[in-house]
Chain A
Amino acid sequence: MTARIGVVTFPGSLDDRDTQRAIRVAGAEPVALWHKDKDLKQVDAVVLCGGFSYGDYLRAGAIARFSPVMDTVIDQAKAGMPVLGICNGFQILTEAHLLPGGMLGNDHLHFICRDQKLRVENADTAWTTDYTAGQEIHIPLKNMDGRYVADRRTLDELEAEGRVAFRYLDFNPNGSLNDIAGITNEAGNVVGLMPHPEHAVEPLIGTGRTDGLPFFTSILKKLVNA
């Protein structure tokens, strides 16, 4: 028995096939979802992958958030379905108000692509149980608009409630407040982060590390054991 995990393709999505591969590598079944289709094909969880949906022309994630598929994703996420947003997916989740705060352009004004060191701050979400809290991992990061911002009160809440899931270590690549790389909602089913775990699942590819695989094994275990 395995789990069916949907990956949404928006126009301009780039990492959809890569994310499907990562789900396969972890042992789950990837299911392609199309942005114009409200039907989630009875998947058990959804990943919103990286890319430049609609060219990111208005503001990263701002248009994708209004796609037909997102109506269902938002409803299901509120009902507890696990949703992971990676990079552009994280931006879409904040635009959809499934996660608080938002993303601005990198403080240095350049696209940045690097092997980024992170600390896992919350290993209790649907997507992080195969990590341990405090674990240090390397995950590729690549973005133009990755600077996480939120008002002071939201930041205090995130910190107080342990909802900062990942934090940049050694180097803050984009000027994110509190070095935040990823956050979770209160229920722990919705997680968003800027780095790309789907690009760290095979030993030969990319940076040669597999530190991203636990995202996909965590969710698989949760869904199979549910």
Chain B
Amino acid sequence: MSRTPLDTVEHAAATPDVELPWAELGLKKDEYERIVEILGRRPTGAELAMYSVMWSEHCSYKSSKVHLRQFGEKAPESDALLVGIGENAGVVDVGQGYAVTFKVESHNHPSYVEPYQGAATGVGGIVRDIIAMGARPVAVVDPLRFGAADHPDTKRVLPGVVAGIGGYGNCLGLPNIGGEVVFDACYQGNPLVNAGAIGVMRHEDIHLAKASGAGNKVILYGARTGGDGIGGASILASETFDDAKPSKRPAVQVGDPFQEKLLIECTLEAFKEKLVVGIQDLGAAGLSCATSELASNGSGGMRVTLDDVPLRDSTLSPEEILMSESQERMCAVVEPEKVERFLEICDKWDVIATVIGEVTDGDRLEIYWHGGKIVDVDPRTVAHDGPVYERPYARPSWQDELQADDANKLPRPETGEELKDQVLKLVGSPNQASKRWITQQYDHFVQGNTVLAQPEDSGMIRIDEASGLGVAIATDGNGRYAKLDPYAGAQLALAEAYRNVATTGAKPLAVSDCLNFGSPEDPAVMWQFAEAVRGLADGCKQLGTPVTGGNVSLYNQTGEAAIHPTPVVAVLGVIDDVARRTPVAFQEEGQLLYLLGDTREEFGGSAWSQVVHDHLGGLPPEVDLERERLLAEILISASRDGMIDSAHDLSDGGLVQAVVESALLGGKGARLVVPDGLDAFTFLFSESAGRAIVAVPRSEEVRFTDMCGARGLPATRIGVVDGDVVEVQGEFALTLEELRTAHEETIPALLA
């Protein structure tokens, strides 16, 4: 076994002709040439490792950047935004001196390969982003998409993903309060595992990822660094250095939630004592990312001695150490006189902490290994100056045909009996059925502040015990709508999440997003992406809710077949007193049911068209964001002034789905009358946006309808909460038992 000399900066300069495996590391030829140009010589193996991983699509957003700029350019004026796009997570002012940070990220590809660990480390990663802002994590949400519910591979992927999310989140002590589970054949082979988290802090506790102050120490703390999640760097190691190494390492990282729980407590204790100047979590691209981002965001440079990194596997090469994505690690910048106290706190929590370097006067990131300098770069060129692509995009040739295939022309039920059968089929279909079998594997109660959790319209957490101040979060996304019209689809996702937050009584404040699409190298996919971003940015501007951050996941496709464009939108809201929250469940018999908003014949992309006709075509529901804003104002006022006792937004599945859910959750039925001007089918199944149903106590009816009338929001009385059946007068009646059986038995029958 021979060993080539260490590939130092000096060695690289002296051996310009050495061929490096840039293509195997995923770099394009022009990207490699750009690196050579930046450095003025060939990169060392370690430098190449850093550039390749930091310039990847995942870390550099090279295909999406040109579009994502709109979120900044079109950002509405908002007093609430304390930290915007670009940091680990956005931060929003929620009043009373509190700030809330929240973000949604994807862990799609790892979760397909290894469902349990992929999903678990997705939770771990987003939670570290939240801690890195200075906040205590208080809740998680998980928007999920799987292939067809009855496909055998779904039975492999889904239980693993759900167990992974539960296994990690439950062990961290984070209540899981929301999210979605959607099945569609387009996600076969490309499940979407998005994970969101919320954290709370005082304004003065906000921390940022930057290394300032020459002489300050760089401390790596948490788990030891191992060989997991290295991916491409192994190629570099085996080809350049040592052929006898074990070549197959797990590409998916392995999570240790217990270690992460210690990391949370120890980090928060260090923040409390004001020991931390800058902080960054280690996620994708590991130390490469943490060192280059900390250094480039700060005022100076950074010198790191890689030999000091605690290792799980002593045979790791420096390239592998730089690229390792071992979980549960963080990097803090600490003033020299505070290092001892910082290490004491880590010791108290049994967390390994090591000084691995320091902030320097210069502007270079220098990394040493065995006494040799193996990295000497301008950190900005690694972290921020990655390639930017203006990828070609074009409206797909099939879009017109898809939109012309009008769902409104599908055969409709003609008798009460047919309506009844289709209602049962709808509420028992995998997408509309109860997801309790899944959500009961998540802890909703831990931390003792959960006010609302799924299946409520939004999750709600109390953040101040004395005043009752709380925050609400909802995540939504409808890939079917977005496939029919990505611009409208993104706005409908935003509108639904916004509406869901308002339905529970909270005021929507800000947005995070997770944009899941196919390959950016396909102009049709790129068009979907561009349209969705444009739609979301325009929508956020109109609703006054800025995008605070988020994540893009591309290449979600198998061969030529991309997933439906799936922008998942999270909206965060605030409520002055959680005692005013409005639940979904019907509370009292005799209360009056009102339908708010306008109902049109809109069936394109609807649950009904999918369940009854297996059809996707036409146009999605019309978007009217001014109407959404008015509806939200009415729902919030009604909640604040005690005019409604329950409310439910109308979205996929339409009115009948919402009524059935409210009835089953409350254990109380409803008698409905089809309003004048509507036929029973449209009344029950239409998915017109900008609508909700509310239950109004009789004593509040006049006050409530006067308010709607004065503000110009259509409010139609459609029935009353009563009995143990859901009845549509003159059409059909279904007992709660029949509905419960249909709604609750589907998912366990498929997956348990």
The chain A residues found within 8 Å of chain B, CB to CB, are 11-12, 14-15, 17-18, 21-22, 50-52, 54-57, 108, 110-114, 140, 142, 144, 196, 198-199, 202, 204-207
The A-B contact count (CB < 8 A) is 90
Among residues of A, the one whose C-beta sits closest to the C-beta of B436 is: A114
Asked whether A206 lies within 8 Å of B163 as measured between CB atoms, the reply is no
Which stretch from B167-175, B330-338, B681-689 is at the chain A interface? B167-175
> Could you list 6 further interchain pairs (A-B, Cβ under 8 angstroms) beyond the known A52-B258, A142-B446, A198-B448?
A12-B258, A12-B262, A14-B446, A52-B257, A55-B171, A199-B448
- Chain B interface size, under 10 / 10 to 19 / 20 to 34 / 35 or more: 20 to 34
B445 within 8 A of A: yes
Interface centre among B163, B444, B581 (most CB of A within 10 A): B444
Asked whether B163 lies within 8 Å of A110 as measured between CB atoms, the reply is yes
Among residues of B, the one whose C-beta sits closest to the C-beta of A57 is: B258
Asked whether A11 lies within 8 Å of B445 as measured between CB atoms, the reply is no
B43 within 8 A of A: no
Interface centre among B163, B173, B439 (most CB of A within 10 A): B173
Contact flags B146-173 to A (C-beta < 8 A → 1, else 0): 0000000000000000010011001111
Asked whether A142 lies within 8 Å of B451 as measured between CB atoms, the reply is no
Asked whether A51 lies within 8 Å of B444 as measured between CB atoms, the reply is no
Asked whether A21 lies within 8 Å of B170 as measured between CB atoms, the reply is no
CB-contacts of B633-647 with A (<8 A): none
Asked whether A205 lies within 8 Å of B451 as measured between CB atoms, the reply is yes
Q: Which residues of chain B are within 8 angstroms of A21 by Cβ–Cβ distance?
A: 448, 465
Minimal beta-carbon separation of B272 from chain A (angstroms) = 14
Q: Which residues of chain B are within 8 angstroms of A56 by Cβ–Cβ distance?
A: 171, 258
A204's partner among B262, B440, B444, B578 (CB-CB below 8 A) is: B578
Asked whether B170 lies within 8 Å of A142 as measured between CB atoms, the reply is yes
Asked whether B445 lies within 8 Å of A52 as measured between CB atoms, the reply is no
Asked whether B445 lies within 8 Å of A206 as measured between CB atoms, the reply is yes
The chain B residues found within 8 Å of chain A, CB to CB, are 163, 166-167, 170-173, 256-259, 261-262, 349-350, 439-451, 462, 465, 578-579, 581, 752
A51→B451 CA distance, assembly (Å): 21
| CB pairs A–B below 8 angstroms (21 shown) | A11-B261, A12-B261, A14-B171, A14-B446, A15-B173, A15-B448, A17-B447, A52-B170, A55-B256, A55-B257, A108-B752, A110-B441, A111-B163, A111-B170, A111-B443, A112-B441, A142-B445, A199-B445, A199-B448, A204-B451, A204-B462
Q: Which residues of chain B are within 8 angstroms of A204 by Cβ–Cβ distance?
A: 451, 462, 578-579, 581
Instruction: Given A15-B173, A52-B258, verify A114-B440 contact (CB < 8 Å).
Output: yes
Asked whether A18 lies within 8 Å of B447 as measured between CB atoms, the reply is yes
Asked whether A113 lies within 8 Å of B258 as measured between CB atoms, the reply is no
Asked whether B440 lies within 8 Å of A51 as measured between CB atoms, the reply is no
Interface centre among B259, B262, B441, B442 (most CB of A within 10 A): B441
Among residues of A, the one whose C-beta sits closest to the C-beta of B583 is: A208
Minimal beta-carbon separation of B250 from chain A (angstroms) = 19
Among residues of A, the one whose C-beta sits closest to the C-beta of B259 is: A55
Among residues of B, the one whose C-beta sits closest to the C-beta of A173 is: B440
Among residues of A, the one whose C-beta sits closest to the C-beta of B446 is: A14
Minimal beta-carbon separation of B149 from chain A (angstroms) = 18
Interface centre among A54, A55, A56 (most CB of B within 10 A): A55
Asked whether B447 lies within 8 Å of A113 as measured between CB atoms, the reply is no
Among residues of B, the one whose C-beta sits closest to the C-beta of A141 is: B445
Among residues of B, the one whose C-beta sits closest to the C-beta of A108 is: B752
Q: Which residues of chain A are within 8 angstroms of B447 by Cβ–Cβ distance?
A: 17-18
Minimal beta-carbon separation of A192 from chain B (angstroms) = 19
Asked whether A111 lies within 8 Å of B166 as measured between CB atoms, the reply is yes
Q: Which residues of chain A are within 8 angstroms of B349 by Cβ–Cβ distance?
A: 11
Among residues of B, the one whose C-beta sits closest to the C-beta of A55 is: B258
A54→B256 CA distance, assembly (Å): 11
Asked whether A205 lies within 8 Å of B462 as measured between CB atoms, the reply is yes
**10 nearest A-B residue pairs (beta carbon):** A55-B258, A14-B173, A18-B448, A199-B445, A52-B171, A206-B445, A140-B445, A111-B166, A111-B441, A142-B443
Minimal beta-carbon separation of B505 from chain A (angstroms) = 12
B450's partner among A12, A22, A111, A206 (CB-CB below 8 A) is: A206
A55→B448 CA distance, assembly (Å): 21
Q: Which residues of chain A are within 8 angstroms of B258 by Cβ–Cβ distance?
A: 11-12, 52, 54-57
Q: Which residues of chain B are within 8 angstroms of A142 by Cβ–Cβ distance?
A: 170, 443-446
